[in-house]
Structure 1
Amino acid sequence: MKAKPGQQASIRELALELGVSTATVSRALNNHPSVSPDTRARVLELADQAGYMPRVGQRFRNVVGLAYPSNPVMPEFGSFESAMLGGVMKGLDADRYDLALIDIHRDKHRDESYTQFFRRKGVRGVIIRPVSPEPTIAETIAEEGFPCVMVADRSDHPNLGFVCSDSGRDSYRAVDHLIHLGHKRIALVCHAVLDSDHRDRIEGYRRALQDHGIETSPETELFLPASMEGGAEAIDRLLSLEDPPTALFITNPVPTVGALHRCLELGIRVPDDLSIMGFDDSNARSRTYPRYSAVCQNAEQFGYDAARWLTRRLEGTETGVLRVHRPTTLQFNRSTGPVPAKAIRLASNKSDIVRVEFPKRPRK
């Protein structure tokens, strides 16, 4: 039984083909425990071949999934997810599609393909948001031929389309700017999950230092959770070094805010005592004191581009594989300034009470 162009198979047709009841087919499609593994496998295989999709009433569902291969949205993702989601909803609205949030890790059964899984979920296509170092699940989905597009990461797989940022160039320019302000000891604070975009940011940071003859050092490269606590920890660890940095390049918005907050707690003046160059997905930089300088990407545009292409693909007006590299911008605000005469250094006594060793400041 093969899918007919422009038509969708029904549960009744699947039941007739397999010689079982419609109730058995329905239970198999919904992974009911009363169905034997052999029967479930037969039903899923035929449903896959026939292009079965669930119905709501007598209408097929125009639903696209936003699929997370592993853990879904976490607090440390900051404003990226909400901004991207806003763009997805705008992109789906043009063709009157709805959105379903899907947790692949939690809901997919081992004995079903990704195509079978998404059809059981009632979605016609998926926007994949990987939050792991390698987009292997997204590549497998693309290999199966299920309509999909990946957002905020990229892949060389010939069947996998994506929308991502090109942040390496502006990461280089951000560090180059700090060097031209006189900073030689510049630290990197990066998310511990190294997807392609974060690898670009690391490469831009290192290349800028190397082009100016400044050696990179493992002690000034921290890979931490992209959280408020991660930003605060970066301040504590980096400024406790014997030779602390005078500037930081932080590759995510939330730890940038966390670092600025920790500086306020310790009485460290940004940028007089320490310069901080951050990253922003929306408008976090305008909500801090001081407003921080940042490499900026438009997460809302990522979501919009992905959703518009996917709905057009499902409507038959778009073909091929989407490959979009969105440029970032570099915005200078009030968190970066000339190198101080002496670096700020943290120290702790035996009671673990942190104190700040400030250089002597001339009285006015």
Structure 2
Amino acid sequence: MNIKSVAKKAGVSVATVSRVLNHPDAVAPDTKEHILSVMESLDYKPNWMARGLKLNRTGAIALLIPEITDLGYMEIAKGVEDVAHQKSYNIMLCATEDDKNKEKGYIENFIDRRVDGIILVSTYLKKSDLNLIRKQDIPVVLIGKNEELAEENLVYTDYRAAAAEATRHMIEIGHSRIGVIYGSRPKLENEHKLEGFRKTMEDEGLTCPAEYFLAEENSLEGGFLAASRLLNLEQRPQAIFVTSDIMAIGAMEKMKQSGLRIPEDIAVVGFDNLKISGYLEPKLTTVTKPMYRMGLIAARLLFDIMEESQEDAQPQEILIQSKLKVRKSCGHKDRVKEIF
């Protein structure tokens, strides 16, 4: 059984069957469905290894993220997977846990396995590292901005601006003593959020004592522990900015156990806009982080580069805006009835 048998049975050309296998998005849906049905009836299975050798491709791309358990990064992975599936590609998914040596080790592994492209999320790699990848003719797309890596294919959201918007909102409501709970990982992303927070406080003429900044593991338990320490201060904050919704949920649980009302006694703003944030009591004010869309666009960009000549492809920088989702937990009187 071969491709010619499929073409004869389907009543189409060999070239059309080849397009279904290699470029399915270039074939009319009805034609593609008909050919796939014929393949199934004939029990035809393409020799993917031979196909890869012929096309000089492996049919796999790599995605490297900081945390495998982070729901936001799983949204990125979902966006990448949706595009890869459409292109009949497989994904190698690995997590660095913010370990630079681990990241470099995975990169070496990707090169050895000759993946067709790589997407790096919140990378610590330097320009020289990316040049080594490119010498192997493997295109790279970055998700998350790293100022040391200029003129690269990049998809990002401005975490500094997003954190600044959330901070400014709390100040406008009337909060001046604002604490911060942030995850120890991912380090680069949270550094940008802290920079946005500090700059906004400074611009508004407000100070934030060192004891108001607490780092913990990015988890429910981490948020709970950090909130415990903030609430034990002699002068506790009026509001808390938390760099992830998961930590914010843990912090809110500690506040409730301490008999505090949210937002009457203390306000909370998170970051991520996880689905659960709209079902809490009170509903969590948070920053919408467009993770799925970043993964989707990064994957589309990567495949565009893979299908073009590397020499002709010009680096693209794509900004996707984050938005503040105002709900009840921040104490904004005009928006307390907002549901989602």
TM over 0.5: same fold? Answer: yes
In the other structure, the counterpart of 1:321 is 315
Paired amino acid for 2:304: R
Aligned pairs for 1:143-292 (under 5 A) are: 143-145=132-134, 146-158=138-150, 160-193=152-185, 195-292=187-284
Find the aligned partners of 1:322 and 1:156 in 2 and give their Cα distance.
16
Gapped regions of structure 1 (runs ≥ 5): 1-54, 340-364
Partners of 2:254 and 2:145 in 1: CA distance: 30
| Percent pairwise identity | 23
Q: Does 1:307 align with 2:304?
A: no
Q: SS of the residue aligned with 1:59?
A: helix
Could you say what secondary structure the match of 1:319 adopts? coil
How far did residue 279 of structure 1 move? 0.6
Secondary structure of the equivalent of 1:303?
helix
- Aligned partners of 1:81 and 1:194: how far apart in 2? 11
User: Do the aligned partners of 1:67 and 1:103 also contact (CA within 8 Å) in 2?
Assistant: yes
Instruction: Tell me the distance in 2 between the aligned counterparts of 1:139 and 1:274.
Output: 47
Counting helix residues as a fraction of each chain, which structure ranks higher? Answer: 2
**Structure 1 position 140 matched with structure 2 position 138:** no
Partners of 2:220 and 2:246 within 8 A in 1: yes
Offset at 1:165?
1.1
RMSD of equivalent CA atoms = 2.8
Q: Distance in 1 between matches of 2:128 and 2:187?
A: 14
**Matched residue of 2:270: which SS?**
strand
Give the total of aligned pairs.
273
Q: Which amino acid counterpart does residue 59 of structure 2 have in structure 1?
A: N
The 3 A distance-change label for structure 1 pair 223 and 103 is: closer
Q: 1:338 to 1:162 in 2, by over 3 A?
A: closer
Tell me by how many angstroms 1:220 deviates: 0.6
Q: Deviations over 1:318-361 (max 9, x none)?
A: 8122322221101110101279xxxxxxxxxxxxxxxxxxxxxx
Instruction: Name the SS for the 1:88 alignment partner.
Output: helix
Instruction: State the Cα distance separating 1:253 from its structure 2 match.
Output: 1.7
Tell me the residue number matched to 1:5.
none
SS of match in other structure, 2:218? coil
The separation in 1 between residues aligned to 2:143 and 2:186, in whole angstroms, is 15
TM-score by length of 1: 0.67
Contact 1:148–1:161, Cα closer than 8 Å, also in 2? yes
Q: How far apart in 1 are the matches of 2:241 and 2:168?
A: 11
Contact 1:249 1:278 (C-alpha < 8 Å) held by counterparts: yes
Q: Which has the larger radius of gyration?
A: 1
Q: Conserved in 2, the CA contact under 8 Å of 1:165 and 1:325? A: yes
Contact 1:167 1:327 in 2 (8 A): no
Change (3 A) 1:286 1:325: same
- Name the SS of the counterpart of 1:91 in structure 2: helix
Q: 1:106: how far off?
A: 6.4
Rounded Cα–Cα distance in structure 2 between residues aligned with 1:205 and 1:108 = 31
Question: 1:213-254 deviations in whole A, cap 9, x for unaligned?
Answer: 211211111122211111101211011111111100011121
